[in-house]
Amino acid sequence: MPSPQASLCTVHLGYLLMLVDCMRQDGTDVDTVFGHDYLATLAALDPNTRRPIEEWESLVEQAQRHSERDVALRMAEFVKPWDTGPIGFITMASHNLREAAESLAQFYNLLNDVYSLDAELVGERFEIAMRALSAHHSPALERLTLATMCWHARWLARRADLRFDADLAFDTPSPSLVAALQKTMGGTLTFNAPRSCLRGPAEYETLPVSRGDHGVQETLRAQLMAEMASLQDTSTSFVHKIERILKPRLESGQVNLDEIASEAGVSVRTLQTRLEESGLNFRTLLDRMRHAQVLLYMGDADISLIDMAHMLGFATQSSFHHAFKRWTGMTPGQYRKQRLRAGISNRANAR
């Protein structure tokens, strides 16, 4: 039975339950591996419970002793989009892989608060990067996250041939694990990287998703935004603390670094240092929050593009357009028209 240590980093209970189910499906006697009483305790917990990351890592270590394959990579093949609840359904309801990746990045912290995800265009490549939210690093969770994104992208796009390059922020593992990672990702692997990330050609982002009902997307997004707000209200993460301070100021355009540091009870230098420990700086965090918020605004037809620029704290309309095109590869007008066309199509199909 695992004996987790107290931790500020947590994962959703689903991580533990899916690991157990994965091992059970592979024919492992999970009662022997994890203990019958412990499994009964897990099964009795509220489905929305969060557990210390160390507890999940302990389960992975125990499971690894009874498996010839890497347990994290095996889990990635086992988990289907709908296993992650509303987050999986909103990726299935996306119009293309870019939108699916953005939704995953926006709501990833509902799954764990060990990392955050950034999805953006970098030159001619589309990149999804993991940023640590604390000093805790989990190679197993990094492998699970990146591998799951590979398999789900192929499933959503109905393209088994998609290949991804991966940077991995841990030492070069055993040759057998390198081979397994290569088989999963399909592209070039780089180890000892500053952060773990997945890259694919820019054209991958426009691949259509035809796995679900696009018409439910805004309902799912509203539900997930409410869950994210509730999570961040109680999170002890320093990054989430700064996000809580930033959000009301963002909408009023009053984003002042000195004032935010003062409200957080730290000096500007300390604030910047603490963010750097998570692979961020203040400007990057502000940019990420604006990106996440504008996707919600785009679903509200009553908010004009000019209002969006003001509500996100941009000084000019042109600076808003420049930032939006950097985030999505499209202008705000093009992006909104695409969503409106999809919405009209969905309504027509519903009739």
Residues 6+ positions from 22 with CB-CB distance below 8 Å: 71, 74, 75, 78, 79
Predicted confidence at residue 4, as pLDDT, reads: 40
- At 160-174, the pLDDT tens digits run 999 999 999 999 999
3-state SS class at 113? coil
What does the DSSP 8-state code read for residue 329? S
Predicted confidence at residue 216, as pLDDT, reads: 62
pLDDT above 60: residue 146: yes
> What sections of the chain are H helices per DSSP?
13-25, 30-34, 36-44, 53-64, 71-78, 86-92, 97-107, 139-157, 175-185, 217-234, 238-252, 257-264, 268-277, 282-297, 305-311, 317-328, 332-350
pTM of the model: 0.70
pLDDT above 50: residue 7: no
CA atoms within 13 A on the CB side of 111: 23
Q: 43: buried, middle or exposed (CB in 10 Å: 19+, 13-18, 0-12)?
A: exposed
Q: Provide the 10 A C-beta neighbour count for residue 252.
A: 10
- Say what percent of the chain tops pLDDT 70: 85
Predicted confidence at residue 307, as pLDDT, reads: 86
Domain with CATH 1.10.10.60 in the chain: 236-350
Residue 320 CA to residue 310 CA, distance in Å, equals 9
Average pLDDT over residues 181-189: 97
Residue 269 CA to residue 275 CA, distance in Å, equals 10
- At 234-268, the pLDDT tens digits run 666 788 788 888 888 877 667 788 888 998 899 99
350 confidence band (pLDDT: 50, 70, 90):
very low
Predicted confidence at residue 6, as pLDDT, reads: 40
288 confidence band (pLDDT: 50, 70, 90):
confident
Architecture of domain 236-350: Orthogonal Bundle (1.10)
pLDDT above 90: residue 339: no
Of the candidate ranges 120-129, 141-150, 164-173, the one whose mean pLDDT is the lowest: 120-129
Average pLDDT over residues 224-231: 69
Long-range contacts (CB closer than 8 Å, 24 or more residues apart) made by 312-318: 312/250, 312/251, 313/249, 313/250, 313/251, 313/252, 313/253, 313/254, 313/255, 314/290
Q: Is the dihedral of CA 85, 150, 93, 9 positive or negative?
A: positive
Mean pLDDT (the chain, rounded): 85
3-state SS class at 67? coil
Residues 6+ positions from 300 with CB-CB distance below 8 Å: none
Of the candidate ranges 142-146, 220-224, 282-286, the one whose mean pLDDT is the lowest: 220-224
Higher local confidence (pLDDT), 130 or 237: 130
